[in-house]
Amino acid sequence: MPYRIKTQTKKAALEPEALIDRYEQLSDWVVAHLKPIAAVTSVLVLLGILWGAMAWWGHRAEEQASRLQAEAFKTYQGALETGKEQRLLAPEAKTSYEQAIAGFQRVRDEYPRTTHAAFALYYLGNARAVLEQYDQAIAAYTTWLNEYGTEELLPLVIQRLAYAYWAKGLPQDALAQFDRILKMPDAPNRDQAYFETGRLLEQQGQKEKALEMFNKLATDYPSSPWSSEATPRIVALGGTPPGRESKPPQATQGASDPSKAAPPSPASP
C-alpha cells in the first residue's frame, strides 16, 4: 500500500490589515509605557557613560602611574649604582634614595588601584632598608604582604622582610620569615633561605642546627651558587659536605682466598 507523502502546510501570510493592527497595538503599548521605557533607556545610557568614563580613567591612571614608577625606579637604580662604588652610603646616593621614596610613595598615594602600586610598595621598602629605616621598611613589607599576598613576588618580599628584621637585631623574627620561605616548595629563593637560616643560626651559636641547614642546602640544591657558599661553612663548623664522605677501603682481590695468597718472602740470611 503506497504511503502518502506529507507536505508541510505553509503559514498564511499576514494580511496588510493585520500588520497595521499589530503595529497600532505596539504603538499603543509604547505610548502607555513611555515613561518606564524612557527611564530604563536613560539608566542604560548613564551606565554606559559611567563605564566608559571609568575605563578611560583607569587607562589614564595606569599611564600616569607607569610614568611616575619609571622615574622613581630610574632614580632608585642610580642610587644603587652609586652605592656599589663606595663602602659607605654617599650623600648623593642618600638623596637619590629619598627622591625615589617620594616617587614610589606618590604612586601608592595617588594610584593605589593600579598594577604599579604593588611594585612601588616593594621598592619603597627596599629603599627604606638601604637607608637603615628598618621600622618603615618592615611596615612597607608587612603592608605589601597584607594587600598583595597572592602575587608571584611573595617569596622575595618575605625574604626582604627577614633581612629587615635581621638588620634591626631581631633574629627570631628573621628566622620566622625565612622559615615561611622554606615551607614553600616552589619558592625560587628557597635555596638562599636555607643558606641565610644557617648563617643566622651560626651567628647565634647553634652549630648543629646551622650544619643541618647547610647540609640540607648542599643536598637538595647541589648546583645552586648558595650551595657553593654553604660548603666552606660546613667544613668550618667541623662537618663533612655531602659527597665528600670517606669510603671504606676495598678489600684486595684474592685476599679472602688462601690459595691465591702471595708467597712468603724468603728469609733473610
Cell matching residue 231:
660548603
Note whether residue 164 is domain-resident: yes
- Higher-scoring residue by pLDDT: 57, 157: 157
Task: Decide if 166 contacts 174 (C-beta within 8 A).
Answer: yes
Q: In CATH, what number is assigned to the domain containing residue 141?
A: 1.25.40.10
Q: What is the mean pLDDT of the chain?
A: 82
Q: What is the pLDDT of residues 74-95, one digit of tens each?
A: 999 998 887 776 678 888 999 9
pLDDT of res. 29: 72
CA dihedral 259, 262, 263, 266 (to 10 degrees): -160
99, amino acid identity: Q
| Arithmetic mean of pLDDT, 127-148 | 97
Q: What is the pLDDT of residues 56-72, one digit of tens each?
A: 345 576 999 999 999 99
Note whether residue 42 is domain-resident: no
Comparing 38-42, 147-151, 171-175, 252-256, the range with the smallest average pLDDT is: 252-256
Q: What is the pLDDT of residues 257-269, one digit of tens each?
A: 433 434 434 333 3
Q: What is the pLDDT of residues 202-220, one digit of tens each?
A: 999 999 999 999 999 999 9
Note whether residue 253 is domain-resident: no
Note whether residue 172 is domain-resident: yes
Integer Cα distance of 256 and 242 in angstroms: 32
Residues spanned by the domain of 235: 66-242
Note whether residue 5 is domain-resident: no
Note whether residue 9 is domain-resident: no
Cell matching residue 43:
539608566
Note whether residue 260 is domain-resident: no
Confidence of residue 100 (pLDDT cuts 50, 70, 90): very high
**Selection from 155, 80, 78, 143 nearest residue 117 by Cα:** 143
Integer Cα distance of 176 and 162 in angstroms: 8
Count the domains in the chain: 1
Note whether residue 94 is domain-resident: yes
